[in-house]
Every structure is written in C-alpha cells, then in structure tokens.
Structure 1
C-alpha cells in the first residue's frame, strides 16, 4: 500500500469537499482514531462515532491502549479522547502512549479532547500530554453536572457555522482553564466561552463564568481542539464535533 504524505492527503480531502471531481472513498475519508479504553466512559465514544458516521467521509478506528504500540496512530489524521477521567486515560496509556500521542500531533496529526480528553491535553499534570498552554484554575474539579450557557466566538462561528447567540450545552465537570505560562507553546484561541456556571462541592464560585469553554491551538505541526462541555451530547450542537474533526485534519471549514 502506498502511504501518501499528510500534505497530499490534506489537499485531496479539501478537493473532495469542494470539487465536483469524484475521488475514491478511501482518498476522501478522514481517518480517525477514537480511544475506547479505561477512563473513557459514558456516552462519549458512541456519540462521537454516531456523529461522524452520520456526517459521512470519516473512517473511524476505535483503539485500546495496547494498540498504540502496534501503530494504530500511523496513517491516521485525527485522534480523539472523550469524556470520563482524564487522569485515568493518561495513566492507562502510560508514558510510552503519551509520548506516541504527542509525537503524532507534533508531526501533523489532529487532537480532539472532550471533557476528560480536554484535561488530558492540558499542561502541569503528571499524566497529561501538555499539548496546550493551558492549566486548570483549581484542583476542585467536581463543579457539577447539568446545562450551562455557552457563547460562541466569531472564530467558533466560522468553524461551526453556528451563530454567536448564547445557548445551553451539557456540562459534566469539564476543565476550567487559564494560560499555563509555557513559553514553548503558542497561546490558545477561544472558540466559545461559558456565560453561566455550576459551582458545587466547594469549587470556586465565579471561576467558570466568562472562562474559555472550547479552544484551539497548535502543537508542532499539528492542530488541537479541546472542549470542556459536551457538544456531542447536546442536541443541535453535534455539528461542532464534526466541524472540529474536519478542521483538525485539513485546516479548512467544510
């Protein structure tokens, strides 16, 4: 099998979406590796799978920790870590797995982290990947589960085609972030902000309001998007997931 460089595949993907020329299905498909092992629990994996399958043009491979060493990330365009426990995901894939994911992104792959997967991408945890200049504002992460209000930024509107009006989104103890002060990483760009909050279990009141809810950044040659809340589990906002994966693979809006 001939393995095309990532830039060639990226060009083919863009042309497949914009051109009337019919490309073979394999050439047009965005190849996604979706983590489905310890730490990834709840509706995240099946919801993301269903969204991408319904959208079409995505080749989805679910993988376990042991598959990383077997090369599951080779020839993939995007890796996704969904909700559950970021520390469990990070410790389960271990040092070697974390280095493999970092190298995948650094070499030009895309990373999407939702809730736990967002924690995993942050800096300053011993089990995290450090893909973004982001850290949590407090160690008290049990803020609660429920709907909160989200406002999409102009950059997020361009990515998702959703309007900038405020809307509700499902939240389940996702990270509340601020810059980590890492000079080796570029600043992240907010795609959406929280406009209301949950602040249960003695978590700091006011820390969540107006903080970034969804951000994107660069790591090496690759792209990163993390979402603290759950667009994949919010009716009407599932498109954020599909458009995020497409941007991560191609750098372009569908």
Structure 2
C-alpha cells in the first residue's frame, strides 16, 4: 500500500484507536461521516505511540472551521456513537496513509437478498453507496463510483444479466484504477471459472469442500499485518461463508489473505449437519458421515484452504473471498469489510457527481412524494408483511427450517428456506426504507430552515444545490413510487397469497414423500404423489436455485425487486443531502 504524506498545519489532531473487534465498526462510521463532510482521515500502517495499526487519525487544522469548533463537533459525533476519541497536541506522526472516501456501487443483478444484506451493512457503517442494476452499468454509471461490490448469488446469472457490454465497462473501470470486492458468487464471477469473467488468476478449489457449508468458521490470516486484518487478533476471526467454496490461486499474481481453520458450533454442512460436533464427540463416526456425503461432510477438510485472496486487474485492486463479512447481525466482520473497502480504494480518484437512477418524466413535489411513500408503506405493510410472517411461521412450526440466532434472514433446514429468506429480506428492507424516508425529509427540512438566514455565499450556493438535488429526488422517486403503488394495487396481494399457498403445498408434498419413502409406501402411490409435487413445483417454483424461475414467482418478486432498488437509492441520496447540510451548518457558524 502506498503512503500519502501526512502534512498538516494543525496544532492538534484526534486519534480513534482500534480496541475491540465487535464494536470497532462504529469508528468506521465516524471516519466515513467525517470524510463525507470533506475532512481528511488517516490510518497508521504500524503501531504509533501505542496506537495499534489501523487506528484513525483526524487532523483538526486546515479545515474551513476553527480547531475548537472542529473538536467540539467531533466530540459530539463520537459521543453519539459511544466512542472515546483521544486528542493529541502537535502535528500528525509520520508514516500514515490518507484514506480515499469510498463511493461504492453495489451490483444489483440477481441474488438480490445478498445485495440487500450488503447494502444494509454498508449503510450501517455510513459508506457512500448506490445500487446499480446491470442496465445502469452498461449505461456507464460506474463513472460515479471508485469501487464495485459484487455480492453473493449465482455467478452464471450475474454474467448473463450484465452481458458482454457491462463486462467491458467493469474491465474499463478496473483499468482506470477502480477497486472491486467480490464475495461468494461475486468471487466466482471475478475468477477463472466456467461462468466467471476471469479478472483474477484464481479458480475454485477442486478439493473436498464441505457441501453447502454455511455459518461462522475461523479464518486465519496469511499475514496478520496486512491491512485487511488491522484490528483483529493474529490467530484470526470467525467469518461466515453461506454455501461457499474455497479458492485456488493459479499464480503468484494472486496473494492469499486468509485460510479456513476451525469451524464454530454454528457451522453447518448441507443445511442440517453440524459436522464439527461429529468430529468433536463422535470422531470415530466421522468417516461414516463423510462416506454418506461422498467425502463432502468433514469440516476438517477445509483447514488450510484459501478463503480470501487479492490481486490486480489493470490499475485496479481486487479482493475476493467466500466468507461474508457483510452478514447483518455478525458485527465482528464489519471492520474487516471496511478494511477491505479502504484497501481497494486507496489512492483512487473520486467523482463529485451524485448519482440517481435515470430521471423521471413527470415532476413531483415533496407533498406528493410523501403521500406516495406513505401509500406504498401502507400497502406493503398490509399486503406483503403478513404473508411473509405467515410463511416464516409455517416453516418453523412444521420444523422445515429454524431461524439462526442473531442473524437476519437466515435459516437452517430443508430445501426451500432460501425462498422464504428472500421474501423476508425484501419485506423487511422495503418497510425499513419507507419508514426512513419521511424521517430523513423532516431532518433535511429542519436543517434547511436553520440555514436559510445565513448570508454567507458558500452557504447560499450550497442550499441552491441542495434544492436542485431534492427536486431530482422528488422527480425520480415520485415516478418510481407511483409505479410501485400501481403494481401493488393491481393484483399483488392475490398473486402473493396464491404463490405462498402453493409453496406451502410444495413443502408439505416434499415432507410427505420423505415420510412415504422412509415407511416403504406403495411405489405406485409414491409415483403419483411425486407427479403432483412436480406439477406444483414447475408452476410455482421452477428450478430450485437461489431464486425460483417460474413466471408466477418472478412476476411477484419483480415488483418487490424494483421497489427495493429505487428505495435504496433514494434513501442513499437523501442521507448524502443531509450530510451536505451538516457541512454547510459548520460553515455557517
């Protein structure tokens, strides 16, 4: 990692040291908020004055406000996050690197549950984020970002959706120095696999990787002083792959960052087996279990396999891996995710232009925008939320799946739970975003009112720009909300009710067939029941992949998918406008 010379005319600076992995992500929030306000933030690459590597350093001089005012503002932000900053006299110590403010584009193309997970965690840490569809990427929207995040989900589906033109845009982005993170399906898409882009000289490990493994497993650093591992113990930290694999670098151009080690108690194989317990309590039977699963049951096979790696494409830096540090509820991985983001965006350029999906054709005002958002929230809460909760309850009551503690939208059990997870993730995130929009607008209006009396030209010009950006939000968002509301009003509820009813029947048939085979039922009866199950499955599910392929399923989720995409981008833009008003407030005095 190259170092930017830490030059400051400040007579003092603030240090936010890394101390505890499970809560250090809150310090990332502070750093991101300050960078989005235009402040410089640095990190140390090695221990400096007893501050561990990766701590955050913020000079208090060279800002458009006085040092005392900067300190007061920083103290207030830190207190709100439960952080205790340390204030030091003098200039910044040597050997620091200056962070580049990340502007992250999350690929929103198939596997949207994983995209929603990613955006949820990035939003929690207050990164500057946008959701980009495959169409957005083909249209050149990566010009607004300095990092592309490719979430999980089938690599083959993503490759098809993005297409050759979009792939060329990604290659151009990397050649110009953009960074890339890819986890799970995103790692596969980046790699040299059958359905990948081949950006990194790495393949899937052909060894006996446990089948459909998921849950936290210890990831051991290859080099504990690498920036990815700043703030973490040298022995590693548990991260969760979700149905992941392992990597196999093909050349020295790809560097190993972390390897699989020992699984935790919450690590599963094939949805149902806690293989680590067999190894601990019945080691003599581990061979029997492994034989049943054709050698793909023993977590011990994973030890030493590559979990995370990095390399370059053109001027761009890439990190890929199969564990998911962006898992909501597993906050211990958040700092590692932030470390990866800062690492791949180091010294990259940043566009100052805000981004929203393509313009709407009709003008909307704030009152209309609020009314549409409120109407959609009512429809969603009345039509989708009860059905989603009912499906979760149905599966848990029948022991088809069991929710994981502390992890959102995650279950263990028989096949089909991932379709439940997908519906639940859409339901929760759409409702959350719709609830946040009026709160953000209220805060923005209060800040605009306080700043309206300022006579400073920089503040007045800034308010004019804010007005223009809000007009864009109302125009684009108003049209998107209007279209979503119409889709909900037509036959969304009836379609969703019909699909969930028949999905329950499919699960019951699946259970019934399992019982019939175990009890040795009449083969003719099993064949007839199988035919009924297959017919329902083809009509309402289709292929049993990460998402169903039947037209009835896709018609429902297309509505939810479109709503989630627009709401996320509208929310991100309003957050950025609110932070811009905070910056103007500091300038106003």
**Mapped partners of 1:155, 1:166: distance in 2:** 8
Which secondary structure state, in structure 1, belongs to the residue aligned with residue 216 of structure 2? strand
**Mapped partners of 1:130, 1:212: distance in 2:** 18
Partner of 2:542: none
Partner of 1:105: 174
Which secondary structure state, in structure 2, belongs to the residue aligned with residue 214 of structure 1? strand
Higher helix residue share: 2
Kindly indicate whether the alpha-carbon contact (under 8 Å) linking 2:175 and 2:316 is maintained by their aligned counterparts in 1.
yes
Partner of 2:260: 194
Partner of 1:146: 215
Partner of 2:305: 211
Deviation string 1:107-139 (CA, Å, 9 cap, x unpaired) is 2100000111011111132x3121211001239
Deviation string 1:154-184 (CA, Å, 9 cap, x unpaired) is 3565333211224322122223111235xxx
Partner of 1:31: 103
> Cα distance, 1:143 vs. partner?
3.5
Partner of 2:245: 175
Partner of 1:5: none
- The CA RMSD over aligned residues, in Å, is 3.0
Quick one: structure 1 residues 90 and 152, their matched pair in 2 at CA, closer, same or farther if it must change by over 3 Å? same
Unaligned runs of 5+ in 2: 1-34, 43-58, 65-99, 271-292, 349-589
1:56-95 equivalent positions in 2, closer than 5 A: 56=126, 58-95=127-164
Quick one: structure 1 residues 140 and 209, their matched pair in 2 at CA, closer, same or farther if it must change by over 3 Å? closer
The structure with higher relative contact order (CA 8 Å, sep 6+) is 1
72-81 or 190-199, larger mean C-alpha shift: 190-199
Quick one: structure 1 residues 203 and 172, their matched pair in 2 at CA, closer, same or farther if it must change by over 3 Å? farther
TM-score, scaled relative to structure 2? 0.36
Unaligned runs of 5+ in 1: 1-12
TM-score, scaled relative to structure 1? 0.78
Quick one: structure 1 residues 124 and 116, their matched pair in 2 at CA, closer, same or farther if it must change by over 3 Å? closer
Kindly indicate whether the alpha-carbon contact (under 8 Å) linking 1:137 and 1:176 is maintained by their aligned counterparts in 2.
yes
**Mapped partners of 2:154, 2:342: distance in 1:** 25
Kindly indicate whether the alpha-carbon contact (under 8 Å) linking 2:311 and 2:319 is maintained by their aligned counterparts in 1.
yes
Give 1:246's match in structure 2, choosing from 342, 345, 360: 342
Larger radius of gyration: 2
Aligned length: 230
Which secondary structure state, in structure 2, belongs to the residue aligned with residue 247 of structure 1? helix
Quick one: structure 1 residues 202 and 86, their matched pair in 2 at CA, closer, same or farther if it must change by over 3 Å? farther
Partner of 2:32: none
**Mapped partners of 2:308, 2:234: distance in 1:** 13
Kindly indicate whether the alpha-carbon contact (under 8 Å) linking 1:174 and 1:229 is maintained by their aligned counterparts in 2.
yes
Quick one: structure 1 residues 106 and 174, their matched pair in 2 at CA, closer, same or farther if it must change by over 3 Å? farther
Kindly indicate whether the alpha-carbon contact (under 8 Å) linking 1:115 and 1:230 is maintained by their aligned counterparts in 2.
yes
Kindly indicate whether the alpha-carbon contact (under 8 Å) linking 2:214 and 2:244 is maintained by their aligned counterparts in 1.
no
Quick one: structure 1 residues 203 and 145, their matched pair in 2 at CA, closer, same or farther if it must change by over 3 Å? farther
> Cα distance, 1:199 vs. partner?
6.2
Kindly indicate whether the alpha-carbon contact (under 8 Å) linking 2:118 and 2:326 is maintained by their aligned counterparts in 1.
yes
Quick one: structure 1 residues 104 and 147, their matched pair in 2 at CA, closer, same or farther if it must change by over 3 Å? same
